[in-house]
Amino acid sequence: MNIKDIKLQGWRGDVLALASGLLLPLAFAPFSIAPLAIVSLLLLFICWHQVTARQAFWRGWLFGLGYFGLGVSWVSVSMIYFGGMTVPLSAVITIVFVMFLALFPATVGLISKRFFKQYQNTPWFVFVLVLPALWVLSEWVRSWIFTGFPWLSVGYSQIAWPLVGYAPVWGVYSISFGVALTAGLLMYALLESAQARKIATGGIVSLWIVGYALTLPEWTEPVDKPISIAMIQGNIEQDKKWLPEQRIPTLDMYANLSRKNWGTDLIIWPETALPMLYHQAKPFLSAVAQEARVNGTELLLGIPVYDGRTKRYFNTMLSIGALESFYEKKHLVPFGEYLPLPSFLGWFIEYFKIPMSNFSSGAGEKPLVQVAGQQVGISICYEDVFGEEVISALPEATLLVNASNDAWFGDSLAPHQHLEIARLRAVETGRYMLRSTNTGVSAVIDPKGRIVSQSPQFENHVLKHEIQPMKGITPYAIFGNLLTVLFMFALIVTAIVLNWRKTRL
């Protein structure tokens, strides 16, 4: 039976849409079955074939429920186990969040049917031109609307596959386009003649060969001598981290493990490693800094800072040793680190007793700290999911550090997905990425996105390695997402013009 004869009307198409959405998270870490990203989008495109705009929206939404319902199910972990929220309330908030995210693939289906309906019987137009561009634009909009949630963009799933070669040139969304275009070309091949199948096969082969070829150049080059680093994974349980009786054992643990590694050029402690404010930790930090200077070591550590003058709190990375400098986190997590629209939502938080912090966004143009003779580009936890924020440290930064506390998400998919995202940032920038975490996964990632060393999860561990600072700049670090987004808009404008001309005939 030819696929052109298959009309997935009614519940069968709805079930397939939901199932294909559930399939997509398996393409990401920790499962890392990358080809499933293409299979998932292909099945979605099949569900959108020969349906109305309303049906396309509904099936896109069902796809999104499966996609995000499984893929970001970990958001409930922090609320239930570490935020003290009730299971019913956590379930409601998670479901609403997933339902909102599901609107993005739903909107892609709606627009493709509502505004390009004249071409619904022209597969190359819909599946090769319109849908891949709309998919990428939906991911891009998701990355900034309401402060952004670019998690699980399909490009991240290809970190170990040839399409990753596009990352240092056009960024993660160009990889997403490659995945969607591959699925679209496969759909085109299934719907058309033998000649069309040859064209589609040629397109797919060319797309992937170019991707592989782009993995071969060295976009950046070594600078200075390699430096030795040690990342201390404290493995402090989140529900015990801020207990008063845990403070001294935590300080002793970090200090003792650092002493065992004096002589290392750079020692890194994770996000909010010290469960106290900077001014409270001053005597302890002064003593550790003195030891570090004597032994030729510098430290980079996470600690919250209170500014008594402005009455504000900051999530900060602090360097001590040869000199003291701060990086204050800029991109905060709504509800997790600050309350958006406090005059409007304050009653809601108060009534339901939703736990949250009260951090302020940091100042400064570039997220740079100088340690071990190097300019280091810093991102704290969630900040590294925003590629254009990470590249703001370039070209000055010779290496990247992401300090995180993924203990908030327990033994869920989140820490593995987060590590995958950090790997893509290394490829985009052509820099080593040092990922220092509280409970894992801490890792050293090379400029090709390969994990060269990592810590076991949920263990107290010191990850030691020698890394090479890099200089130079990738095309992506110059232009960010601009070129990819403009290209997607150009494809849509082309489609609109062709559609308009067809309606005029």
Active site residues: 271, 329, 381
Q: Report the C-alpha gap between 69 and 65 in whole angstroms.
A: 5
* 314 vs 355: CA distance, rounded Å: 17
> Would you state the torsion angle of the CA atoms of residues 483, 489, 490, 492, taken in this order, to the nearest 10 degrees?
150
Tokens, residue 328: 């204050």
CA 16 to CA 417: how far, in whole Å?
25
| Residues 173, 166: Cα–Cα separation, whole Å | 9
Residue in this structure with the two tokens 């800072």, named with its chain if needed: 305
Give, as one character, the DSSP assignment of residue 383.
G
CB 484 within 8 A of CB 390: no
Angle between the N-to-C axes of helices 172-191 and 482-504, in degrees from 0 to 180, rounded to the nearest 10: 30
| Greatest CA separation for the chain | 81
* Half-sphere CA count of 150, side-chain side, radius 13 A: 27
**CA neighbor of 183 nearest in space, from 139, 130, 138:** 130
Phi, psi of 214 (to 5 degrees): -75, -10
**Residue type at position 427:** V
Q: Alpha-carbon distance 263 to 293, whole Å?
A: 10
Type of residue numbered 388: E
Cα separation, 406 vs 419, in Å, equals 10
The closest alpha carbon to 271, from 442, 416, 80, belongs to 442
Checking DSSP bridges between strand 433-437 and strand 399-404, what pairing results, if any? parallel
DSSP string, 237-282: -TTTTT-GGGHHHHHHHHHHHHHTTBTBSEEE--TT-SSS-HHHHH
Cβ atoms of 351 and 374 closer than 8 Å: no
Place of tokens 């599901």: 102
Tokens 């997935």 found at: 8
User: Strand 399-404 relative to strand 374-380: parallel, antiparallel, unpaired?
Assistant: parallel
Residues contacting 427, CB < 8 A, separation 6+: 159, 164, 167, 168, 447, 448, 449
DSSP character at residue 334: B
Helix (H, G, I), strand (E, B) or coil at 371: strand
